[in-house]
Copies of this chain bind each other. A is one copy, B any other.
Amino acid sequence: MSSPIEDRCLQKGLKMTEQRRVIARVLSEANDHPDAAEVYQRAADLDPRISMATVYRTIRLFEDCNVLERLNFGDGRVRYEEASREHHDHLIDVKSGKIIEFQNTEIERLQREVAREFGYELVDHRLELYGIPLSGKQTASEEQ
Q: Are B119 and A130 closer than 8 Å at their CB atoms?
A: no
Contacts of A115 in B (CB 8 A): 91, 129, 131
Chain B: minimal CB distance from A83 (Å):
14
Chain B: minimal CB distance from A95 (Å):
10
A140 within 8 A of B: yes
Q: Are A141 and B123 closer than 8 Å at their CB atoms?
A: no
Please, how many residues of chain A have a CB less than 8 angstroms from a CB on the other chain? Answer: 39
A17 within 8 A of B: no
Closest to A116 in B: B134
A70 within 8 A of B: yes
Contacts of A120 in B (CB 8 A): 91, 93, 129, 131-134, 139
Contacts of A117 in B (CB 8 A): 140
Select which of B118, B122, B129 is within 8 A of A122 by beta carbon.
B129
> What residues make up the interface of A, taking CB atoms closer than 8 Å to B?
70, 72, 74, 91, 93-94, 100, 102, 104, 106-107, 110-111, 114-134, 137-141
